[in-house]
Amino acid sequence: MLIARSNQVEIGKLKRSLHNKFAMKELGQARHILGMRIERNRTTKILFLSQSDYIHKVLKRFNMDNAKPVSTPLLMIIRLSDRDCPSTEEERKLNRKIPYSSAVGSIMYAIVATRPDLAYVVGVVSWYMSNLGRKH
Distance, CA of 70 to CA of 90 (rounded, Å)? 33
Q: Which residues contact 25 (CB under 8 A, 6 or more apart)?
A: none
| Between residues 4 and 114, the one the model is more confident about | 114
pLDDT at 121: 83
With beta carbons less than 8 A apart as the criterion, state whether 105 and 66 touch.
no
Tell me how far apart the terminal alpha carbons of the chain are, to the nearest angstrom: 40
> Which of 23, 21, 24, 49 is CA-nearest to residue 34?
49
Check whether 132 has a pLDDT greater than 80: no
Query: Using one digit for the tens of pLDDT, what is the confidence trace for 62-112?
Result: 888 898 887 766 666 667 777 777 777 777 777 777 788 888 888 888 888
Q: What is the mean pLDDT of residues 54-69?
A: 88
Q: What is the pLDDT of residues 112-131, one digit of tens each?
A: 888 888 888 888 888 777 77
